[in-house]
Homo-oligomer: A and B are copies of this chain.
Amino acid sequence: MKADADTDRLELFYTASLQVAGDKPLYRMVEDHIRTLITTGHLIPGDLIPSEAQLAKALNVSPGTAKKAITNLVWEKLLFRHQGKGTYVSRVDFEKNLFRFFSYGDAEGRSIRINKKTTARSLQQGPSNICKRLGVAEGSDLVYIERLGVIGERPILVEYSWWPAAVVPGLEDESIHIPDYLYALVLNRYGVPVVRAGETLTAEAADSKTAKVLDIAKGTPVVVLKRIAYTLNDRIVEVRTTKGRADRFSYKAEIRR
């Protein structure tokens, strides 16, 4: 019955009455409680959290305090509200980040969609520098995926991606279709949500392999994006390097107060 699921979810909130009360404000403890449920995976993106009233009752605070805690988390984009329905846990939107930088053509317009073709995939012992970044033992089995990003027929970027084979066993299998949004596949097939990533951006001269696939001369400047992706509890699940044609790359930012 639906009521059961609701009750189960609510129970998460009936714990030891909001940690041992520190000197933090009440609403802060409510926030932290929800934050913890999210980072530990008890709540995952898309989940509906209890209503403000239920939350207030469960945690024994006034409705206004529960509302304030939720409001703060909404400002932090950890949650979003939908009037009449409830409050949900947000998804990570990687497209809204460094990736969107590779824009093309439509000078002022929105970002055009980049399609990705998988150009290579294999199971192999990882190079030591990759293993180090992944935080796994040297020589561990890794799944390697290489993808070419194109707009129309024009190559824009190449991705070199590495995953511990233990996390995504069998992903090297050619029969598994890799969608543009790789993380969706990993979540659905392996139940591993990517919840966070760190990225570093630089530029360097194109190596010969990259130059070839991007159809540029070796030594031409390319934009280099290194990403480390994390799942729950700060476990690293992917190390990725993206190299993109500088002439088809642009990052726009608006600086305001």
Complexed CA–CA distance, A66 and B45 (Å): 33
A78: chain B residues at CB < 8 Å are 256-257
In this complex, what residue of B is CB-closest to A64? B64
| Nearest CB on B from A10, distance (A) | 22
Is A92 at the interface (CB under 8 A from chain B)?
Answer: yes
Which one, B75, B77, B203, B255, contacts A92 given CB within 8 A? B255
In chain A between 178 and 201, which residues have their CB closer than 8 angstroms to a CB of chain B?
Answer: 195-201
The interface centre, meaning the residue of A201, A219, A222, A257 with most chain B CB atoms within 10 A of its CB, is A257
- Are B201 and A251 within 8 A (Cβ)? yes
A93: chain B residues at CB < 8 Å are 257
6 A-B interface contacts by CB (under 8 A): A78-B256, A78-B257, A89-B257, A98-B253, A202-B246, A203-B222
Tell me, rounded to whole Å, the shortest Cβ–Cβ distance linking A89 to chain B: 8
The chain A residues found within 8 Å of chain B, CB to CB, are 45, 75, 77-78, 89-94, 97-98, 101, 195-205, 219-223, 246-247, 249-257
A228 to chain B, nearest CB (A): 10
Distance A92 CA – B222 CA, assembled complex (angstroms): 31
Instruction: Given A219-B219, A221-B221, answer yes or no on A201-B257 (Cβ-Cβ < 8 Å).
Output: no
A254 touching B203 in the complex, CB below 8 Å, given contacts A219-B219, A221-B221: no
Bound CA–CA A198/B251 (angstroms) = 10
> Do the beta carbons of B246 and A203 come within 8 Å of each other?
yes
B219 touches A255 (CB 8 A): no
Query: Judging by beta carbons under 8 Å apart, are A75 and B75 in contact?
Result: yes
Residue in contact with A252 in the complex, picked from B75, B91, B198, B255, CB distance below 8 Å: B198
Q: CA separation between A257 and B93, bound complex, in Å?
A: 7
Cα A251 to Cα B98 in complex, Å, equals: 10
Residue of A220, A251, A255 contacting most chain B CB atoms (<10 Å): A255
Q: A221-B246, A246-B203 are in contact. Are A257 and B195 (CB under 8 A)?
A: yes
Q: Which of B97, B200, B203 contacts A223 (CB 8 A)?
A: B203
